[in-house]
């Protein structure tokens, strides 16, 4: 069921149910982060491996401090600039946060979403919410309520509809191993914006096993149709005779039927491209295609995060 009844959503969560909620990044599959049976239900619904930890959502910085041991100075500076927003901080957890949430790690990923419905819902609850993206594990993340309904609607009792996500990419995850600020996952806040606040940071490549933070697996965000990355001017003629879809940054290609291509931003706007990425992948994945060919964006601004998702969507190919 899709609706906008926040009181109903809160009541379901208090009863141990798992529901979908909107955030500004993507829709989340949310449940009581302090209840291990509910957390286990999240993993089961997503078919997510238990070694891939979850992000915990709270309404404000004061609430965040209830669940972590300490907040480093650089983390607090980032929180003051970007929270609520598309930032997740990887911090030392208190014992009240289950090891199931963190996949056995002493660190917990904490986020304060900026979406007004998510904010209102979190303030009605006496517990934080564990909420990975509301999609089957490894598939394209949902940016609209109907995306969730299409993928998981028969497995959850309620989808809180907050409209289309305004950012459309998962949050940027920043941790502080040995006191050094490190970006573990590129996301909705560009690396340049992070560095403008706290200075140079390390940027860690995603890992293929035992991830230290959510969403770091090598193969992720993948459509069911094979996706191949490269120069579109080379890939398109290479695959003549096949039904191909084209995912480009700005350009359109007259030799490909218009309904089989998607330009993320005709004006070259990174924010618009990020907002359209998952919807574009989902659109092409539902066409009768043999292959999706795509190109990387310039490695700057949100282009870095978009490229990260594209590389992982194509890693099996």
The pLDDT assigned to 118 comes to: 98
pLDDT-based confidence at 209, cuts 50/70/90? very low
Q: Grade residue 54 by pLDDT with cuts at 50, 70 and 90.
A: very high
Q: Is omega for the bond preceding 84 within 30 degrees of 0, making it cis? A: yes
pLDDT value at position 207? 47
pTM (two decimals): 0.87
Rounded Cα–Cα distance for residues 209 and 187 (Å): 20
CATH code for the domain defined by 227-313: 3.40.50.11030
CA distances from 200 to 60, 143, 182, 191, 252 (A): 26, 31, 9, 9, 37
Give me the percent of the chain exceeding a pLDDT of 70.
94
Please, is 87 exposed, middle or buried when counting C-beta atoms within 10 Å of its C-beta (0-12, 13-18, 19+)?
buried
pLDDT digit string (tens) for 140-183? 999 999 999 999 989 999 999 999 999 999 999 999 999 999 99
For residue 103, name the pLDDT band (cuts at 50, 70, 90): confident
159 vs 215: which has the higher pLDDT: 159
Is the pLDDT confidence value at 221 over 70?
no
> pLDDT band at residue 212, thresholds of 50, 70 and 90?
low
Q: What is the mean pLDDT of residues 261-266?
A: 96
For position 206, what pLDDT does the model report? 61
Per-residue pLDDT at 210: 44
- Quick check: 244 pLDDT over 80? yes
Of 23, 32, 30, 25, give the one whose Cα is nearest residue 157: 30
Q: Where are the domains of the chain?
A: 2-203, 227-313
Rg (CA), the chain: 19
Q: Which residue has the tokens 């697996």?
A: 217
Q: In whole angstroms, what is the distance from residue 142 CA to residue 135 CA? A: 6
Q: Binding site for L-threonine, residues?
A: 25, 57, 111, 131, 171
What's the whole-number average pLDDT of the chain?
92
pLDDT digits (tens, 9 = 90+) for 267-277: 999 999 999 99
pLDDT at 218: 57
**Residue stretches of the annotated binding site:** 25, 48, 57, 111, 131, 133, 141, 171, 185, 221
Which residues make up each annotated binding site for ATP?
A: 48, 133, 141, 185, 221
Q: 2-203 has which fold?
A: DHBP synthase (3.90.870)
Q: What are phi and psi of 34, to 5 degrees?
A: -95, -5
Q: CA 124: distance to chain centroid?
A: 24
């Amino acid at each position: 069921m899709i609706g906008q009844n926040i009181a109903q959503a809160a009541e379901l969560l208090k009863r141990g149910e798992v529901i979908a909620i909107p955030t500004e990044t993507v829709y989340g599959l949310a449940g009581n982060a302090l209840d291990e049976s509910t957390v286990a239900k999240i993993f089961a619904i997503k078919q997510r491996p238990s070694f891939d930890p979850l992000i915990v959502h709270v309404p404000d910085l004061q609430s965040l401090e209830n669940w972590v041991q300490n907040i480093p100075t650089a983390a607090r500076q980032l929180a003051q600039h970007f929270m609520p927003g598309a930032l997740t901080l990887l911090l030392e957890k208190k014992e009240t946060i289950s090891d199931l949430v963190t996949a056995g790690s002493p660190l917990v990923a904490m986020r304060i979403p900026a979406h007004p419905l998510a904010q209102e819902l979190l303030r009605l609850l006496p517990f934080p919410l564990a909420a990975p993206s509301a999609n089957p594990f490894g598939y394209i993340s949902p940016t609209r309520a109907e995306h969730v309904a299409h993928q998981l609607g028969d497995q959850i009792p309620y989808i809180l509809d907050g409209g289309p996500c305004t950012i459309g990419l998962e949050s940027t995850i920043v941790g502080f191993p040995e006191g050094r600020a490190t970006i573990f996952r590129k996301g909705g806040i560009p690396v340049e914006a992070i560095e403008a606040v706290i200075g140079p940071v390390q940027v860690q490549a995603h890992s293929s096993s035992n991830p230290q933070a959510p969403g770091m697996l090598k193969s992720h965000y993948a459509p069911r149709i094979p996706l191949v990355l490269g120069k579109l001017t080379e890939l398109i003629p290479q695959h003549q005779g096949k039904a191909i879809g084209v995912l480009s940054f700005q350009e359109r290609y007259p030799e490909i039927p218009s309904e089989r291509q998607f330009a993320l931003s005709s004006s070259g706007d990174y924010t618009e491209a990020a907002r359209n990425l998952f919807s574009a992948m989902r659109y092409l994945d539902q066409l009768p295609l043999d292959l999706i060919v795509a190109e990387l964006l310039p490695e700057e601004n949100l282009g870095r995060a978009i490229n990260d998702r594209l590389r992982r969507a194509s890693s099996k190919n």
